[in-house]
Amino acid sequence: MPKQRITKEMVVEAAFELARRGGLERVTVKGIAEKLGCSVQPIYSYCENMEGLRNDVAERARRFLREYVEARADRGDLFRSTGRAYLQAAKEEPHIFRMFIFQERKNISSLEEFYRAEANPLMARGIADALGIGVSEAARLHLNMLIYTVGIGTVFSVATPGIPAEEVFSQQEQAYQAFLRAL
C-alpha cells in the first residue's frame, strides 16, 4: 500500500479537530501526527512554528463559525437569529467559539474599526429596513448587540455545568429590547 501524502490542509484540519475537542492548547505536533497516522516530519515541513499553525487553526475556526451561523440563520429574522446562532455555537462548540473570540485582531484601535472588521456591511442596512430606523442607528444597535453577544457567549462557553440556553437567549432578548429603546 502506498504511503499517504500529507498536505498542509490535512495538517490544519487535524489540528482543528484536536482544538475543537480540547481547545487550542491541546494541539501538539505529536497529537497531529497521531491523528494523521504519520511521523512528526510532515507536520514540521508545513509548520514553521506553532504560532503559524495556531493562526491557521484560528482561521479555520472563523470559517467554521461563519458556516455554522449561516446554516442556522433565519432569513425572516436575520438579526436576532444570527445572534442566537452565535450563542448556540458558544454552547455546542465552546472551544471553537473561544478560538474565534480570542483570535488576535490586528490594527483595531476603536470599536468602530472592530465593527467594520467583524460585521457584515449589509447587516446595518437590513436592520434599518426591518426596524424602520436610520442606518447609523442600526449600526449602533448591531455593534451593541455584537459586544453583548460576545460577552454573554463567552460566559456561556465557559460555565459548567452550564447555564440553560433559554436563560441566555432570554437575557440576549432583554438586551436587544433595552438597546432598541435607547435609540
pLDDT at 3: 60
Radius of gyration of the chain (CA): 19
Report the candidate in 49, 36, 45, 44 with the shortest Cα–Cα distance to residue 10: 36
Q: How many domains are there within the chain?
A: 1
Task: Identify whether 28 is part of a domain.
Answer: no
Q: What's residue 107's pLDDT?
A: 92
Q: Which three cell numbers stand for residue 59?
A: 482561521
Mean pLDDT of 63-84: 92
Question: Is pLDDT above 60 for 87?
Answer: yes
**What predicted TM-score, i.e. pTM, was given to this entire model?**
0.85
For residue 44, is it within any domain? no
Q: State residue 4's pLDDT score.
A: 66
Q: Is the pLDDT of residue 68 over 90?
A: yes
* 36 inside domain: no
pLDDT(89) > 80? yes
Cβ atoms within 10 Å, residue 5: 8
Residue 151 in domain? yes
Q: Is residue 126 part of a domain?
A: yes
pLDDT (tens digit per residue) in 5-59: 899 999 999 999 999 999 998 999 999 999 999 999 989 888 878 888 998 999 9
Residue pLDDT, tens place only, 90-123: 999 999 999 999 888 889 999 999 999 989 888 9
Is 94 in contact with 157 (CB distance < 8 Å)? yes
| 1 belongs to a structural domain | no
- The answer to whether the CB of 145 falls within 8 A of the CB of 175 is yes
Q: Give the residue carrying C-alpha cell 470559517.
A: 63
Domain assignment present for residue 117? The answer is: yes
Tens of pLDDT, residue by residue over 131-143, are 999 999 999 999 9
Helix ranges, the chain (H): 8-22, 29-36, 41-46, 50-72, 78-92, 94-101, 111-118, 121-131, 135-158, 165-182
Range of the domain at 137: 72-182
The model's confidence at residue 1, banded by pLDDT at 50, 70 and 90, is very low
Residue at 32 is within a domain: no
